[in-house]
């Protein structure tokens, strides 16, 4: 039977004076790209805020990953002896170009579906593929990592993805690991228009990227509240982001909400059936690397104690919340019951979506869901995620409190239910 969130805990969340200030403090750190001083500032902040919320010291788990840094990136349309500069931003872990750049004709692949890549494959070898960024929180979304991979498979020598925000490029990860790759840039919609073919002629572009790769390490920051059994519920949020803005929606919202949930539940530590682990991962924006390395490194016996992961990622920017339930019907029904009982019902989406850290828990057989705002709501402020407009003004305190209350309702039930029905 699902245990409803006590009214006293709900009231403490609705009156939590730290929530808006902590959200602002996380945004103050900047975009928090992994490997930058901005990320370092956020990690130091969250060690301090997490210890205050949980009432116990942080556990720090080193997380090695493949580091990368780009010092410059340019995109030009080549028109004979003349070049026209266009707006761009390097995708995380793009390869560098030769010093003279990578120059080729541009093939517009449209949205960048697998069918479009298949149809245009004969034209792509030796050329640059141009695709469009999609609203990420929707059924049928095709991740840029897939589009990048299809471009490589077709023999393209470069990859461009056009964002939605006028005059501003889009950020994101190429998804590349240690394998060979192709130069990859996020670009402005105006740049895409300039590079689209006219008639039978292809536009010609030059990409110039300076980037270095190196061994790097970040950390998972953990806070454990004890339970009465060995089972543990993991409440997670990723602290890293991209360097175009504040990464406010993605994911200062999830981090702030996770802190507030922990603060509300910490006085009850030791009374729960299951323990609670608050986990802040980094390098999530690097193809979910941080949580993958953490989970892969856990002893099998410890992984088997993980009863559930509730992952908070981009939980405000809209007042409409959805639990992405990793293909588990029982988990979806449970999430609906828990949030309805607290008066904050969330929608559910069943098909698996490997778009945040919950996917790595699922890969290890741990039931997991992601709470997200604005699902299938393309006109919400979430459309600005991965752009320079992902700033704190896109989020209201009311949305933050709603998301925190919904998350707390699920966490409380997960900690206290005699059996979890999934």
Q: Are 67 and 213 in contact (CB under 8 A)?
A: yes
Q: What is the pLDDT of residues 272-310, one digit of tens each?
A: 999 999 999 999 999 999 999 999 999 999 999 999 999
- Count helices and strands (H / E) in the chain: 12, 14
For residue 199, pLDDT over 80 is answered with: no
Map out the domains of the chain with their CATH numbers.
Answer: 7-66+215-416 (3.40.630.10), 68-212 (3.50.30.30)
For residue 1, pLDDT over 90 is answered with: no
SS3 breakdown of the chain: % helix, strand, coil, rounded to 5? 35, 25, 40
For residue 198, pLDDT over 90 is answered with: no
pLDDT tier, 46 (very low <50, low <70, confident <90, very high otherwise) = very high
pLDDT tier, 406 (very low <50, low <70, confident <90, very high otherwise) = very high
Q: What is the pTM for the complete model shown?
A: 0.97
DSSP, collapsed to helix, strand or coil, labels residue 233 as strand
d(CA 143, CA 128): 18
Q: What is the pLDDT of residues 368-395, one digit of tens each?
A: 999 999 999 999 999 999 999 999 999 9
Q: Write down the mean pLDDT value for the chain.
A: 97
Q: What is the pLDDT of residues 54-73, one digit of tens each?
A: 999 999 999 999 999 999 99
For residue 422, pLDDT over 90 is answered with: no
For residue 2, pLDDT over 90 is answered with: no
Q: Given this model, what pLDDT does residue 420 score?
A: 87
Q: Are 311 and 358 in contact (CB under 8 A)?
A: yes
């Amino acid at each position: 039977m699902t245990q409803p969130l006590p009214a006293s805990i709900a009231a403490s969340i609705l009156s939590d004076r730290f929530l808006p200030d902590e959200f602002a403090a996380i945004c103050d750190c900047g975009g928090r790209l992994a490997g930058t001083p901005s990320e370092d500032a956020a990690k130091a902040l969250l060690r301090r805020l997490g210890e205050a919320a949980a009432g116990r010291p942080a556990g720090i788990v080193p997380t090695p990953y493949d580091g990368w840094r780009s010092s410059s990136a340019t995109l030009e349309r080549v028109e004979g002896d003349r070049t026209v500069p266009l707006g761009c931003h390097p995708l995380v872990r793009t390869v560098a170009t030769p010093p003279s750049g990578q120059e080729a004709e541009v093939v517009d692949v449209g949205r960048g579906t697998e069918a479009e890549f298949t149809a245009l494959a004969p034209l792509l070898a030796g050329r640059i593929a141009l695709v469009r960024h999609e609203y990420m929180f929707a059924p049928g979304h095709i991740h840029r990592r897939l589009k990048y991979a299809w471009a490589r498979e077709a023999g393209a020598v470069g990859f461009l993805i056009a964002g939605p925000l006028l005059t501003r490029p889009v950020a994101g990860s190429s998804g590349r690991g240690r394998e060979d790759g192709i130069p990859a840039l996020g670009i402005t919609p105006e740049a895409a228009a300039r590079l689209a073919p006219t008639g039978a002629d292809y536009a010609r572009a030059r990409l110039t990227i300076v980037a270095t790769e190196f061994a790097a390490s970040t950390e998972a920051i953990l806070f454990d509240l004890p339970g009465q059994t060995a089972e543990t519920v993991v409440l997670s949020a990723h602290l890293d982001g991209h360097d175009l803005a504040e990464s406010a929606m993605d994911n200062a919202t999830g981090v702030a909400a996770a802190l507030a949930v922990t603060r509300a539940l910490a006085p009850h530590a030791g009374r729960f059936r299951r323990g609670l682990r608050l986990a802040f991962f980094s390098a999530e924006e690097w193809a979910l690397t941080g949580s993958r390395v953490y989970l892969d490194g856990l002893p099998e016996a410890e992984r088997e104690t993980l009863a559930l992961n509730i992952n908070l990622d981009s939980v405000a920017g809209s007042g409409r919340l959805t639990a992405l339930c990793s293909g588990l019907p029982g988990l979806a029904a449970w999430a609906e019951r828990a949030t309805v009982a607290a008066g904050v019902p969330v929608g559910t989406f069943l098909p698996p979506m490997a778009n945040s850290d919950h996917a790595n828990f699922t890969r290890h057989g741990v039931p997991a869901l992601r709470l997200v705002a604005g699902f299938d709501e393309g006109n919400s402020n979430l459309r600005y995620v991965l752009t320079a407009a992902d700033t704190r003004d896109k989020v209201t305190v009311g949305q933050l409190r709603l998301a925190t209350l919904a998350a707390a309702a699920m966490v409380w039930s997960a900690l206290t239910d005699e059996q979890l029905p999934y």
